[in-house]
A = this chain, B = another copy of it.
Amino acid sequence: MTIKIGILGYGNLGRGIECAVNAASDMELVAVFTRRNPESVKTVSGVKVEALSALESYKGKIDVLMLAGGSATDLPSQTPEYAKYFNVIDSFDTHAKIPEHFANVDANAKAHGTLALISAGWDPGMFSLNRLYANAILPNGKDYTFWGKGVSQGHSDAIRRIKGVKDARQYTIPVQKALDAVRAGENPELSTRDKHIRDCYVVLEEGADPKFVEEQIKTMPNYFADYDTTVHFISEDELLKNHSGLPHGGMVIRSGKTGVNSEHKHIIEYRLVLDSNPEFTGAVLTCYARAICRLAKEGNTGCRTVFDIAPAYLSPLSSEQLRATML
């Protein structure tokens, strides 16, 4: 039976979800919902675009509503709100606010008999899963998460807010020396500066002062002050030509010991190299939407995270097929 999907929000992530749903043979994309004028939005696959006001009328016509909004302002209200009508899934990634968001979504989903999953994607999401698995296997050990090489949208936005900056792209890059030490099982203590460098490509407004902009970037608290930061000034043409993609990735590494006297070292590493951050995030969300649809049909309600979902629910294959082909 085909799983019917709706997408709320049509930015980079919405388009990433659209691609992943269309690539799934057991899913049908019913409509994209937008706060913009729907006539102004053209979907990549030609699927119908509806105004947000039409969403409630789709109750019963959509198995899972996939929320493609941002964590700062969209998801904290949207996920609990639409859990009243639909099974929902989001990629909420404000780590510190996950317990609060979970509680809000859980209350509404339970009250309305729906099932929800929050914080899917790759971090939170696949990286979280790998932290959990590796910690359970090696209780005596140390965790390391590295991000990149990849474009950080938040840091790129922070640069764009500086006076005199026309456009900017910021890459987060793991420090190779730190990565080598972790992979060698040396269990180093690493400061923020030891782990990542920040590489910035900046297009200036006409007449802007590069010295001022560079100083503003390098001293910006939280975003750049604690890192070794490099600033490159480039033309708008070069930015569009060489820095228009949204690659990302990283590694979750756990280094641990076993044995009678902790005499044996082990390294568990999970590594992602992604050409398109939003398309990969959309792909993860899509297989969790499959899981949520199935679990809802079994009568489950309330809020879940990736920690609560047995892996078999993610695959279109049956348990027998999985055991015969992937175990």
Contacts and interface: CB of A to CB of B under 8 A. Distances in A.
A327 B119 contact: yes
Contacts of A265: 275
Residue of A133, A136, A310, A327 with highest tally of chain B CB at under 10 A: A327
Interface in A308-327: 308-312, 314-316, 319-320, 322-324, 326-327
Contacts of A305: 322-323, 327
Contact of A132 (B119, B259, B260, B314): B314
Contacts of A138: 283
A31 B100 CA distance: 44
B271 A258 contact: no
A136 B315 contact: yes
Contacts of A268: 126, 270-272
A319 B315 CA distance: 24
Interface in A81-112: 95, 98-99, 102
A308 B307 contact: no
A23 B263 CA distance: 13
Contacts of A98: 323-324, 327
Residue of A131, A287, A316, A326 with highest tally of chain B CB at under 10 A: A326
A151 B316 CA distance: 35
Interface string A127-143: 01111110111111000
Interface string A264-298: 11111111111110011011100100100000000
Contacts of A287: 136-137
15 contacts: A23-B140, A23-B258, A24-B139, A95-B327, A137-B280, A137-B283, A138-B283, A264-B276, A266-B272, A267-B272, A268-B270, A269-B271, A270-B270, A270-B271, A307-B327
Which 5 A-B residue pairings sit nearest by Cβ, starting from the closest?
Answer: A264-B275, A136-B314, A264-B276, A136-B287, A258-B279
